[in-house]
Amino acid sequence: MNEREQWKNRSIFIMAAVGSAVGLGNIWRFPYIAAQNGGGAFMIPYFIALLTAGIPLMIIEYGLGIRTQGSAFIALGRIRKPLRFIGWFAILSALCINIYYCMVLGWAWNFLFDISDISQWGSDLVASKQHFFKGILHLSDGPWQFEKLHWHLLLGLLTTWVVIWFIIKSGLLNIGKVLLFTVPFPAILVLILLVRGVTLDGSAVGLDYYLAPNWERLHDADVWLAAYGQIFFSLSLGFGTMIAYSSFMPKDTELPNSAAITSFANCCFSFLAGLAVFSVLGYFAVATNVPMESVTESGPGLAFIVYPAALAKLPVWVNFFGYLFFVVLLLLGIDSAFSLLETVGAALSDKFAFSRTTATTITAIFSFIAGFPLATSAGLYWLDIIDHFLMAYVITLVAIIECLAVGWILGAKNFAREVNRTAEIKIGATFSFLIKFFTPLILGVTMVLSFIKEIKTPYEGYPISAILVIGMGTIGLITIGAGLLTAVKTKNDADLGLL
């Protein structure tokens, strides 16, 4: 087997985990998920999800990675051999996410080139929509109308892959150095945006919309599922990423406090990013005399349509803030994207004894090519459908199984005993209750309810064929891939005692 590398120290490890967690999810996904799910009301399920599932699962993933010093399939396979399959299922989901995650970063590169004209294309919502859908995406009328492959999108995608390939290939010590830049710098930039936002007239309208709770929405299972899904996505849980990252730490590393620090850092960042986004949107709503609902309803377009249009309305320094916003998106996204690449690369090295470079290169080339449909005119539809299915089902399923496997098979008590040996904050009965009963139950119920809804009304009104082929098809492929990778026997599997 290859000698396993290690992070330089605990701070770098936590920084890497925060870098993975804080990403597009915080600034691109969080505000629109919050807006779609009742604005301020969403904060309640979100924080409940953080406490009841986010932090416990972070402790589980850290613990599994550290105790086995291996990727998700090893970490889970050590609990029971058949669970190797779930490990691979998670790892291949990370592969899928990265395919579209890098495309979103590819759009951001493209936006950077257009900022000099932002006052024109961002002059109002209609123009900004036109710029994103037609100018950047060349969006067609439906998921089966590919029209053509767009070179500028492909180039954006390629740029992202080349950047993260270089970083990951350079080894953990160098990644540590990259993180010293990609973690604090965007945080400072977001603070600048935040100060700009809250000092604008009308920002209070946006903040009120963001923070005022609407209790009614809490009856809707979808809102809860979205909250749990967002917590997992945002904390990089359920994909084997945190397992891979923690497997690069020595066995005596402190866990619960590290997990809490990572989780709170991430969620505080989301919250602050939300303030920065909604204050500017409030200003925009007041300046253009439209209700908040109409500036927040655009789904994934929020960061690419509404926000740029709002920035274009700033009294001064429009271009500066335009660049700032897209640089923030890129910097936040890059360290998350490379953590996803590392998840898959580390797993391939663990299974096939590939070198870091070989594993990373194979993964990057495969993922880049698999991203081609996303660079066609139907790309946004594909991305939206795949994102929905991975978030709503795959991530939740992996999370449920991780909780049950640690809670019941490994034994919550045994696990807690191991973890507590080096813990700064001890875990005990609450942790046990959460992972054995509460979290799996609430996740299971919300998943079933939302599946029922899915059957009744196809997601976002997409044609059934698209839902089946693109959404279910992706899950099907991940399942087959995980089955194959579990079935193939390698020398490393034998050495690890996994056969």
- Does 241 contact ligand PHE by CB under 6 A? yes
Cα–Cα distance measured from residue 405 to residue 26, given in angstroms and rounded to the nearest whole number = 29
- Does 93 contact ligand PHE by CB under 6 A? no
Burial of 297 by CB count in 10 Å (0-12 exposed, 13-18 middle, 19+ buried)?
Answer: middle
Find the part of the chain contacting ligand PHE (CB under 6 A) among 6-14, 16-24, 171-179, 403-411: 16-24
Binding test (CB under 6 A) with ligand PHE, winner from 68, 236, 363, 376: 236
Q: Binding pattern to ligand PHE, positions 44-83, x when CB under 6 A? A: ----------------------------------------
- Does 160 contact ligand PHE by CB under 6 A? no
- Does 23 contact ligand PHE by CB under 6 A? yes
AA identity, residue 41 = A
Q: What is the sign of the dihedral through the CA atoms of 304, 308, 18 and 401?
A: negative
- Give the closest residue to 238 by CA, choosing from 99, 363, 104, 93: 93
Binding test (CB under 6 A) with ligand PHE, winner from 19, 26, 198, 475: 26
Find the part of the chain contacting ligand PHE (CB under 6 A) among 335-343, 344-352, 359-367, 482-490: 335-343
Find the part of the chain contacting ligand PHE (CB under 6 A) among 15-23, 119-127, 279-287, 302-310: 15-23
Cα–Cα distance measured from residue 311 to residue 121, given in angstroms and rounded to the nearest whole number = 11
Answer whether 109's CB lies under 8 Å from 323's CB.
no
* Distance of closest approach, residue 336 Cβ to ligand PHE, in angstroms: 4
- Does 25 contact ligand PHE by CB under 6 A? yes
Burial of 372 by CB count in 10 Å (0-12 exposed, 13-18 middle, 19+ buried)?
Answer: middle
* Distance of closest approach, residue 95 Cβ to ligand PHE, in angstroms: 11
Cα–Cα distance measured from residue 107 to residue 464, given in angstroms and rounded to the nearest whole number = 27
Q: Which residue is nearest to ligand PHE (CB)?
A: 25
- Does 486 contact ligand PHE by CB under 6 A? no
Binding test (CB under 6 A) with ligand PHE, winner from 46, 209, 224, 233: 233
- Does 186 contact ligand PHE by CB under 6 A? no
- Give the closest residue to 161 by CA, choosing from 327, 25, 334, 18: 334
Select 342 or 350, whichever has its Cβ closest to ligand PHE. 342
Q: Which two tokens stand for residue 259?
A: 């997990």
Select 42 or 283, whichever has its Cβ closest to ligand PHE. 42
Find the part of the chain contacting ligand PHE (CB under 6 A) among 83-91, 253-261, 333-341, 383-391: 333-341
Answer whether 87's CB lies under 8 Å from 363's CB.
no
- Does 339 contact ligand PHE by CB under 6 A? yes
- Does 367 contact ligand PHE by CB under 6 A? no
Cα–Cα distance measured from residue 66 to residue 63, given in angstroms and rounded to the nearest whole number = 5
Cα–Cα distance measured from residue 352 to residue 89, given in angstroms and rounded to the nearest whole number = 17
Cα–Cα distance measured from residue 400 to residue 441, given in angstroms and rounded to the nearest whole number = 8
Find the part of the chain contacting ligand PHE (CB under 6 A) among 80-88, 115-123, 334-342, 425-433: 334-342
What number of chain residues touch ligand PHE (CB under 6 A)? 16
- Does 239 contact ligand PHE by CB under 6 A? yes
Cα–Cα distance measured from residue 469 to residue 473, given in angstroms and rounded to the nearest whole number = 5
In order, the DSSP letters of 199-235 are TSTTHHHHHHHHH---GGGGG-HHHHHHHHHHHHHHT
- Does 230 contact ligand PHE by CB under 6 A? no
Binding test (CB under 6 A) with ligand PHE, winner from 52, 298, 336, 363: 336
- Does 363 contact ligand PHE by CB under 6 A? no
Select 200 or 394, whichever has its Cβ closest to ligand PHE. 394
* Alpha-carbon distances, residue 115 vs 28, 186, 246, 352 (angstroms): 18, 18, 39, 45
- How many residues comprise the chain? 499
- Does 21 contact ligand PHE by CB under 6 A? yes
Using CB under 6 A, list all residues that contact ligand PHE: 20-21, 23-26, 94, 97, 233-234, 236, 239, 241, 336, 339-340
